């Protein structure tokens, strides 16, 4: 908190104020130790509620998680969280989540563009459909996807013979992760596209830019920060996803087992401390990836202003 400098301490060295007129000023009224003054209401209360909720909802659970994992001691922690099976699970988790987030943010950009810029019948319906993955229990999505893509499924009967295995495979994991993370990528970019100034696109065209030059040089730099934010949200959502993956991935250790599934299977073995250790590693990885992405996003924002 910045407190205003008090006359008694920090200003003493400076002597009389430089303008030389301070003698003419009426003596200032006794300072009401003014906090940061603002006309906006309720700063104190809202700040208190915010910090309380953050502590109750985020800080305490995470602290318990870390404390529980710490009870293992360094060697015990490594033995639980850095087994070959766990390392494979991290790799599957991170790899499929990154892939899904990249696909979601590119696809999300496209869908958002279509929803904002194109007039077509059924646009409202499509716009409403975007939010469905948020409302649908993700286990349902996992079940539907796996029935579709298994060898005898509607899509699988055509795809499996040509070598595309959409169920019980990494591809399946990526598919459901795109499904659950796409709404975030769309909804973050959509309002930014809506707020784009069409004049600048017209200006670019009048200056002789082609469609693609206009998009890549004029439009994209303006929405890239939002695309990256959408990527970060999609990534976070994908890293934490459990319900749909558990049904479509087949959960084969070293192949299609993601870290959250491994955590649950440890819990089923009553190995609570081991489970928390894996969770802490997963948390650390997710957090550092999100920090990197957010930093990138900040830099893009600064660059585009």
Residues found near another protein in the complex (CB under 8 A): 197, 199-200, 202-210, 213, 217-218, 221-222, 303-305
* Crossing angle between the packed helical segments 259-268 and 84-117, to the nearest 10 degrees: 130
CB of 303 to another protein, least distance (A): 6
Query: For the chain, how are helix, strand and coil distributed in percent, rounded to 5?
Result: 70, 0, 30
Q: What angle do CA 148, 266, 244 make, to 5 degrees?
A: 20
CA atoms of 196 and 204, how far apart (whole Å): 14
CB of 64 to another protein, least distance (A): 44
* Crossing angle between the packed helical segments 73-81 and 60-70, to the nearest 10 degrees: 100
* Contact assessment for residue 188 and residue 236, using Cβ atoms and an 8 Å cutoff: no
CB of 302 to another protein, least distance (A): 10
* Residue-wise DSSP of 101-137: HHHHHHHHHHHHHHHHH---TTHHHHHHHTTHHHHS-
Q: Give the side-chain half-sphere CA count within 13 A for 86.
A: 19
- Between residues 211 and 255, which has the closer beta carbon with respect to another protein? 211
- Between residues 167 and 223, which has the closer beta carbon with respect to another protein? 223
Closest CA relative to residue 104, chosen from 173, 175, 176, 185: 185
CB of 133 to another protein, least distance (A): 32
For the chain, the distance separating the N- and C-terminal CA atoms, rounded to the nearest angstrom, is 28
CB of 4 to another protein, least distance (A): 30
CB of 301 to another protein, least distance (A): 10
- Between residues 109 and 234, which has the closer beta carbon with respect to another protein? 109
Query: Residues 6 or more apart from 144 whose CB is under 8 A from it?
Result: none
- Between residues 137 and 191, which has the closer beta carbon with respect to another protein? 191
* Contact assessment for residue 90 and residue 285, using Cβ atoms and an 8 Å cutoff: yes
Length of the chain: 305
- Between residues 170 and 209, which has the closer beta carbon with respect to another protein? 209
- Between residues 146 and 297, which has the closer beta carbon with respect to another protein? 297
- Between residues 151 and 194, which has the closer beta carbon with respect to another protein? 194
CB of 205 to another protein, least distance (A): 5
């Amino acid at each position: 908190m910045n407190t205003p400098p008090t006359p008694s301490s920090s200003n003493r060295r400076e002597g009389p104020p430089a303008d030389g007129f301070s003698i003419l000023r009426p003596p200032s009224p006794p300072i009401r130790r003014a906090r940061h003054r603002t006309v906006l209401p309720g700063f104190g209360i809202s700040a208190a509620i915010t910090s309380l909720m953050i502590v109750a909802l985020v800080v305490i659970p995470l602290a318990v998680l870390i404390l529980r994992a710490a009870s293992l001691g360094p060697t015990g922690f490594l033995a639980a969280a850095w087994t070959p099976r766990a390392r494979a699970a991290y790799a599957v988790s991170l790899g499929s989540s990154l892939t899904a987030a990249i696909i979601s943010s590119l696809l999300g950009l496209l869908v958002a563009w279509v929803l904002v810029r194109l007039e077509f019948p059924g646009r409202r319906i499509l716009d409403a459909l975007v939010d469905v993955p948020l409302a649908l229990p993700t286990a349902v999505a996992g079940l539907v996807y796996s029935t579709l893509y298994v060898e005898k499924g509607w899509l699988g009967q055509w795809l499996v013979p040509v070598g595309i295995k959409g169920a019980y495979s990494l591809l399946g994991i990526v598919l459901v992760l795109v499904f659950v993370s796409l709404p975030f990528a769309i909804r973050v970019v959509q309002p930014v596209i809506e707020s784009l100034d069409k004049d600048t696109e017209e200006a670019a065209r009048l200056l002789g830019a082609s469609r693609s030059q206009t998009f890549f040089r004029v439009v994209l730099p303006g929405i890239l920060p939002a695309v990256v934010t959408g990527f970060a949200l999609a990534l976070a959502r994908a890293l934490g996803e459990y319900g749909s993956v558990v049904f479509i991935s087949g959960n084969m250790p070293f192949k299609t087992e993601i870290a959250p599934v491994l955590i649950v299977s440890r819990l089923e073995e009553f190995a609570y401390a081991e489970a928390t250790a894996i969770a802490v590693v997963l948390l650390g990885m997710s957090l550092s990836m999100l920090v990197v992405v957010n930093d990138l996003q900040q830099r893009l924002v600064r660059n585009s202003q």
